[in-house]
Amino acid sequence: MVIEFLIDIALLMFLVTVAIAIVRVRDLFSAAMLFAIYSLLSAGLFAILDAGDVALTEAAVGAGISTILFLAVLALTEREEHPAPGKNRLALAVVTVTGACLIYAAGDLPDFGAADNPVQVHVAPYYTEQTYYDMGIPNMVAAVLAGYRSIDTMGEVFVILTAGLAVVALLSVPPRRRRRELKPGEPGEPGKPGKSGKSGKSGNDT
């Protein structure tokens, strides 16, 4: 129990360190790699908390697919992030207050794994005893996802579909060609002086 507690603390420390590094770094490629590391650390934390399905999803989507999408987007944009002028103090205040409220509310959560948790006393026994009679499915996980939580599962499918369509729309936009300033003597746009210094009219016109 002590070893698991120390592992939890170590993973949380790593998560905070990586999160600060993501905010501070200006190189977008490094930020994408740090996001992948953050997802892997989160997957490890979920695995320690006995949430194997969530850990697998986080490792596959967060560290795998999301990283590939980040790298694909980097091919269409600049690698360095331009620093924003000034500091947004209002955003900092909102984040600080929200974090303090979440930390305060976490004190009312029941102990992890305790036998008298509401989920252990009310929810889990009902699913264990009544799933087959209600759904006729011997697999309790499939019955919960496709039966009891069918509306929630359908909403998650819509969210994933919307995110996929947004990514496809984002990646399908061709990159804009950068317009460079013309040097003296170089051919310009129609109607503008070119190499010979002539404009749209001929030099012999009177």
Per-residue pLDDT reduced to its tens digit, 129-171: 888 888 887 777 778 877 787 888 788 788 778 877 877 777 7
pLDDT of residue 3: 80
Q: What is the DSSP letter of 115?
A: T
**How many residues does the structure list for the chain?**
206
Q: Given this model, what pLDDT does residue 187 score? A: 55
| Model confidence at 54: pLDDT above 70 | yes
Provide the pLDDT for residue 129.
Answer: 82
Band (102; pLDDT cuts 50, 70, 90): very high
Token reading at 10: 């170590």
Q: How confident is the model at residue 195 (pLDDT cuts 50, 70, 90)?
A: very low
Q: Which of 6-10, 98-102, 106-110, 168-172 has the highest mean pLDDT?
A: 98-102
Residue intervals in the chain for CATH 1.20.120.1200: 1-84
> What tokens were used for 71?
């790298």
The type of residue at 130 is: Q
Q: Which residue has the tokens 């560290």?
A: 63
* Closest CA relative to residue 39, chosen from 13, 66, 3, 20: 66
Of 105, 154, 147, 109, nearest to 127 by C-alpha is 147
Q: What is the pLDDT of the chain when averaged over all its residues?
A: 77
Q: Residue 205 is which amino acid? A: D
Using CA atoms, how far apart are residues 114 and 120, in angstroms rounded to an integer? Answer: 8
Span 99-114, mean pLDDT? 84
Sign of the alpha-carbon dihedral angle for 123, 8, 41, 48: negative
CATH code that applies to domain 1-84: 1.20.120.1200
**Confidence (pLDDT) at 200:** 45
Q: Alpha-carbon distance 86 to 187, whole Å?
A: 41
When mean pLDDT is compared over 109-123, 163-177, 188-202, the highest value belongs to 109-123
Higher pLDDT, 117 or 86: 117
The reply to whether the predicted model has a pTM over 0.75 is no
